[in-house]
Amino acid sequence: MLKRSDPFWFFAKRMCRRRKLFAGTLVFSILSAGGLAAGLITIGPVLELILVKGASLQSAARSWLTEHAWTQQFVSDPIAVTAWIPIDPFNGVVLLMGALCVMSLLGGVANYLHQSCSLTLSAVTVAEIRLIVFRHAIHLPLEPVLRRGPAEIVSRISRDTAELERGFTALTSKALAQLTKGLAAFAAALYFDWRLTIAAIIVAPLLAVIMRKIGKRIRRSTKLALEQQEDILRVSQEAISGLRGFKTATAEATAFRRFARASRALLDAELTARFARAFSVPIVEVLTIVVIMGLALIAANEILAGRMSFERFILSLGALGVAGGSLRPLTGLLNDIQSASAPAQRLLEIFAIPVEGMRERDLPALPRHARSIEFEAVRFRYLDADRDALRDIQLTIQHGEFIAFVGPNGCGKTTLASLLCRLFDPMEGSILIDRTDIRAGNLQSLRRQVGVVAQESTFIRGTIRENVMLGADDVDADALDRALQLAHAKGFVSQLSKGLDSMIGEGGTGLSGGQKQRLAIARALLRDPAILVLDEATSQIDAESEAQIAQAIEEFCVGRTVIAIAHRLSTVRRADRIVVMEEGRIIDVGTHEALLKRCGLYERLARTQFITHD
């Protein structure tokens, strides 16, 4: 049904690593099925001897021990061993029923232990896989994440692993239990009459071929359904997270139409998958009826010819019926396993993307920046873009300089800063820190010495302390206090009821824009960076606070290189040099006064775009 090369088995074999749980799942499943086989083999013949032939349970036991030579290795005196068994037929039936009850109780305990082990095994394995997928995802390069969209990655981490667990549960908890019980019943059927059993088994290859074809359709439709679930997650996330914009644009109807289209597509994909699942059940039922009719014809011929007793036929058919009843649910369970192949494939697609810095892990750490930053003939284009975002960037920044980048929106300022942090790598050219290509050193050693304050910084649901110390768990309380002071954040933090331990919501909910930017600045300063990148870092802060923060940053950044992407005239005028960019190129570099005289674009920006007051 499923090849071992199937993506599902790539993850399923991880269950074997939990040896105790895996062994418990197998052993208790076999014990549970063993009781069924023993009951089927013994109850029919014994009841026939007692109720039909009038023999006692004691004599039946002695006859059985005497007729089977292998029992003599363990029982030397059958009469002494069976002396405690009642002679009275009714008491013998009572004892037999009691033994079967005890066997059923033990089988129930074994079944419970099997279910407990198998469900735990599935949950623990999927939890481990989920952690591995998430760890891989957060170390992916930024470009494939942006191209696929965060909703797709999140869907694969949460939804696809949940679907994978469903397949694991079907395999270990249900399919294994039904399979072992079915095989045990088949063993009993073989004991009664091997000819009928072999005839029943001949149909299995035909069933396998049919189920394989249905399984392929289930896998395809399940994969499509998962993709549509990603789309509906993306649409709903865009609508809810951007609810303010949708409301102000009176675009609620547009949001609803987009969600309705995604919902219809998801429904179509799910109905296709369910149709394939539903179709498999009647196919199996029809084959079962055909098999029973065929077996009845074979048995009738054998009984009429005197080669089979009617009692044996009934016992064999009963055992096959139990086997069929046990194996019948396998159709649905195999469908679940087939369905789990699609999310497994999608998880493997995430693993197929190499993590960033994987090849550089063994490279030496970059020394702390102390001399210069150089952009040498740098060119970069985003995937699927029709033009370069940066081209022929040639620039040298000396250690300790304050450089401001200005230009129209989309001219490449933020992209240039992203290249410095190696969120992307240039397609041509090099970026050198102290004459060393940043790709020649360990990625983490580069990012540890670059502090970034973005216009929209990341905030997690947690305390203010956790948000400021994000990625810097080893700093002490004094350093944290100093960073908050420099960022002019200590005042408002101390006024909160729990101070640094005050909770904030997802995305910084509960804080004003200015408060969030102060905390983002404190987070960057806390890292003690050699290079500080300010991307519109004070855009949401009032003029008075901005002047205070700017003065504090100036003091802090003595001996550090500062790169600012700014629209505020006050920020631009403080820079040692100003880099003017247009359409991905550097068109001029100089001081504020010099650029006003010679650069038309800069003069126009100073008149129309630079913010001079709040």
Give pLDDT tens digits for 198-250.
666 665 566 666 666 666 677 677 777 777 877 777 777 777 766 666 665 66
pTM equals: 0.71
Q: Is residue 125 part of a domain?
A: yes
Is residue 386 scored above 50 in pLDDT?
Answer: yes
pLDDT band at 431, cuts 50/70/90? very high
Q: Is residue 207 part of a domain?
A: yes
Residue 527: helix, strand or coil by DSSP?
Answer: coil
Q: Is residue 571 part of a domain?
A: no
How much of the chain is in helix, strand and coil states, percent to nearest 5?
65, 10, 25
Query: What pLDDT is recorded for position 1?
Result: 39
Query: What pLDDT is recorded for position 96?
Result: 65
- Between the alpha carbon of residue 367 and those of residues 84, 234, 251, the distances in Å are 88, 42, 52
Q: What is the CATH number of the domain that holds 75?
A: 1.20.1560.10
Kind plus residue range of the DSSP H or E element containing 120: helix 89-138
Please compute the mean of the pLDDT values over residues 308-325 and round it to a whole number: 60
Q: Is 57 exposed, middle or buried (0-12, 13-18, 19+ CB in 10 A)?
A: buried
Is residue 409 scored above 80 in pLDDT?
Answer: yes
Least confident of 64-73, 297-306, 540-549: 64-73
Give pLDDT tens digits for 466-489.
888 888 877 888 889 988 888 888
Q: Is residue 171 part of a domain?
A: yes
Q: Is residue 402 part of a domain?
A: no
Q: Which residues pair with 586 in a beta bridge?
A: 581
Please compute, for residue 217, the number of CA atoms within 13 A of its CA located in the half-sphere on the CB side. Answer: 15
- Helix axes 310-327 and 194-201, enclosed angle (nearest 10): 30
Q: Is residue 605 part of a domain?
A: no
Q: Looking at per-residue confidence, does 112 or 176 come out higher? A: 112
Least confident of 34-43, 327-336, 432-441, 525-534: 34-43
- Report the C-alpha gap between 374 and 381 in whole angstroms: 19
Is residue 419 scored above 90 in pLDDT?
Answer: yes
Residue 17: count of CB within 10 angstroms of its CB: 11
Kind plus residue range of the DSSP H or E element containing 580: strand 577-582
The size of the chain, in residues, is 614
Number of domains in the chain: 1
Q: Using the CB atoms, write b or e for 271-309: b if 16+ within 10 Å.
A: ebbeebbeebeeebeeebeebeeebeebbeebeeeeebe
CB 151 within 8 A of CB 234: yes
Hey, which bits of 179-235 come out as E strands?
A: none
Q: Is residue 376 part of a domain?
A: no
Share of residues in the chain with pLDDT > 90 (%): 15
Give pLDDT tens digits for 576-610.
999 999 999 999 999 999 999 999 998 888 887 66
Query: What pLDDT is recorded for position 486?
Result: 84
- Rounded to 5 degrees, φ, ψ at 170 are -60, -40
Kind plus residue range of the DSSP H or E element containing 515: helix 513-526
Share of residues in the chain with pLDDT > 70 (%): 64
Question: How, if at all, do strands 436-437 and 428-433 pair?
Answer: antiparallel
CA nearest neighbour of 176 among 28, 339, 21, 2: 28
Query: What pLDDT is recorded for position 398?
Result: 95
Q: Please state, rounded to an integer, the average pLDDT across all residues of the chain.
A: 77
- Between the alpha carbon of residue 185 and those of residues 96, 177, 181, 192, the distances in Å are 20, 12, 6, 11
Q: Looking at per-residue confidence, does 531 or 69 come out higher? A: 531
DSSP 262-322: HHHHHHHHHHHHHHHHHHHHHHHHHHHHHHHHHHHHHHHHHHHTTSS-HHHHHHHHHHHHH
Q: Looking at per-residue confidence, does 22 or 83 come out higher? A: 22
Q: Which residues pair with 390 in a beta bridge?
A: 380
Please compute the mean of the pLDDT values over residues 300-304 and round it to a whole number: 66
- Report the C-alpha gap between 523 and 467 in whole angstroms: 8
Q: Which two tokens stand for residue 89?
A: 């037929």
Q: Is 608 exposed, middle or buried (0-12, 13-18, 19+ CB in 10 A)?
A: exposed
Domain span at residue 171?
7-351
Give pLDDT tens digits for 152-168.
888 888 888 888 888 88
- Report the C-alpha gap between 373 and 350 in whole angstroms: 34
- Report the C-alpha gap between 420 and 548 in whole angstroms: 28
Q: Is residue 67 part of a domain?
A: yes
Most confident of 12-21, 163-172, 253-262, 510-519: 12-21
Most confident of 7-21, 169-183, 394-408, 548-562: 394-408
Query: What pLDDT is recorded for position 458?
Result: 83
What sign results for the dihedral spanned by CA atoms 144, 147, 153, 154? positive
Is residue 184 scored above 80 in pLDDT?
Answer: no
